[in-house]
Amino acid sequence: MFRSSSPKPSLKKLQQDLLNSQKEIAALEALVVAVNPAHFDVHLLPITVLRAIFLYFLPLGSPLTLCWVCHRWRAVAMSTVNLWINPSFVLGSAFSSAGLDHTDRLEHCVREMCGWVDRGRTSSKVSMSIFRSTNTNYFEWSPPSFLEPLIRPYAECYRSLNLDVAQHQLHPLLDGRSHFPNLQSLSLHLPFLDLDLWLWHEGLSLSAPSLQILTITAGTVVLDSTVFNGFTTSFPWSQLDTLDMQDTLLDPPTWWEILSRCHSLRTGSFAVRPNPSRSREHPIILPNLTTLHIKFQTQFYPRTTTEIFDPRIFHPVSFPSVSYLHVAAKVDWSDPLSFIEWVRRQSATLRCLTLEVRLSDAALFEVLGFCRDLEQLTLYLPHGDVSQCRPAFQAIQQRALTKMRILTIISAAAIYVSARTARFSSLDGVVFDLVQTVMTWVALELRPGSELRLFADGEVLSELRTCLREGNDIVIISHVSDETSGGGVHADCTSLRIQQGSRILRI
């Protein structure tokens, strides 16, 4: 016969948790009781209090720590418009373990929040965010109708929605029965495992005539034509001003299809596979696009080192008005001519160019030769290859880039070394080359107002302090995230300031 374990330790722990919760609630309530909304800026309260005032039932670290609100808390909340028009819900397993009816509680909160707008006390519309807690499976067990009572009855009140949800919960948005006349911004964080579900079937649509900004984050999956039929009909692409899909990996035909529908797009951010499975005959021209961020890679995880780049990806697309172009690629530029030709087609209006790619000196020199009106250039030096910035200096001198104002050089290798507090023999060479590079730039006799922005580590900066003279408009920055080291390493941010007269250039 098995002996059951004593429940006393568990009971004691629960009793202690409950006691701590009551103490915390009492402390928060005592603080709020002392608040006179007519003479006190509620935003000066601690963030835990503000969250408790607004959400009433927000878990504070433990499922047992719940904020049952008294009338005094409610009075403060009702007197603070910003708490009602910019709510953010972070939901997780705490609701499940506490046995809470989270849908009813959220519905009550949203109803009063939108009621505030409906009563005409403010002309602002609601911006609501709903996120999953980190490392929880909340949306795996939440019902498909979870969002319906929160969104459909109050569709006219929303100005912005930021939703971290599963596809099967988006019916209130995409079933065509809800109309969002004031919705301007929509951000969807979609679990990548759900991309093949029924959301992308034909017949779904979003009725939002004012929508201008769309952000879609679909994780690590490649969004290709197999799920794109419903995708094209779900969103009003033609009216978008800003489209951010840099965290959703697209295959080239899907990217082309999206671009062909975004006739009014001004700002676009994309992640695209570098090797299209087929070509496209019909050209795509976006006359209004002024800012383009594009990175080419085969997959997000695991990161691949080298991929073959297919030049067919550039053939159909053209952006005649682009002024800011950022290209990142971890690919083998075996045929850089197609990239050079593509940049040439955009060069007439190009003012800012950021290259996070590996190009030969000749290729970079030729690219810069087209950009006569370039004002700002940013170069990422892969693996400390500081030789890549020399063509930039030559081009500035020989290609008559008379409008060049800001040059930014980012050396990943220097940060890679310093972030690990390690010492490698190659670091001395990197320091020497970077110092020589900077001194070469100084020797060019900068025009007034010109800047050189160099991202490097502390040792590089200490060397440069002995070389640089006052009077040069030079800004040295030593903070950069090294993606090659896993994306989580940051060097200490120290800057070298050079004073010129009464002006201090500081980053």
Angle subtended by helix axes 390-398 and 361-370, to nearest 10: 40
The pLDDT value recorded for residue 70 is: 38
The pLDDT value recorded for residue 339 is: 81
The rounded distance, in Å, linking the Cα atoms of 140 and 145 is 13
**Residue 293 to residues 101, 271, 355, 414, Cα–Cα distance (Å):** 43, 9, 10, 25
The secondary structure of 315-372 as a DSSP string is TTEE-TT--EEEEEE-SB-S-HHHHHHHHHHHTTT--EEEEES---HHHHHHHHHH-T
The rounded distance, in Å, linking the Cα atoms of 187 and 164 is 8
Q: Which residues of the chain have pLDDT under 70?
A: 1-11, 14, 17-18, 21-22, 24-124, 131-146, 166-168, 171-172, 191-204, 219-234, 299-308, 330-335, 381-400, 409-507
Pairing of strands 267-272, 291-296: parallel
Query: CA 360 from chain center: how many Å?
Result: 30
Tokens of 423: 């010492």
**∠282-287-292 over CA atoms, to 5°?**
95
The pLDDT value recorded for residue 67 is: 32
Tokens of 163: 């939703």
Contact 168, 196 (CB under 8 A): no
The secondary structure of 41-109 as a DSSP string is -GGGS-HHHHHHHHHSS---SSTT------HHHHHHHHT-HHHHHS-EEEE-HHHHHTT--HHHHHHHH
Helix ranges, 121-170 (H): 138-141, 148-151
The pLDDT value recorded for residue 243 is: 95
- Per-residue b or e along 171-207, where b marks 16 or more CB atoms closer than 10 Å to that residue's CB: bbbbeeebebebbbbbbbbbbbebbeeebbeeebbbb
Can you give the residue ranges of every domain in the chain?
A: 13-79, 351-507
Burial of 153 from C-beta contacts in 10 A (0-12 / 13-18 / 19+): middle
Closest to 491 in 3D by CA, of 476, 504, 480, 502 = 480
Closest to 402 in 3D by CA, of 379, 375, 426, 380 = 375
pTM exceeding the 0.75 threshold for the entire prediction: no
Contact 306, 283 (CB under 8 A): no
The pLDDT value recorded for residue 244 is: 93
Burial of 466 from C-beta contacts in 10 A (0-12 / 13-18 / 19+): exposed
Phi, psi of 439 (to 5 degrees): -65, -35
The pLDDT value recorded for residue 131 is: 64
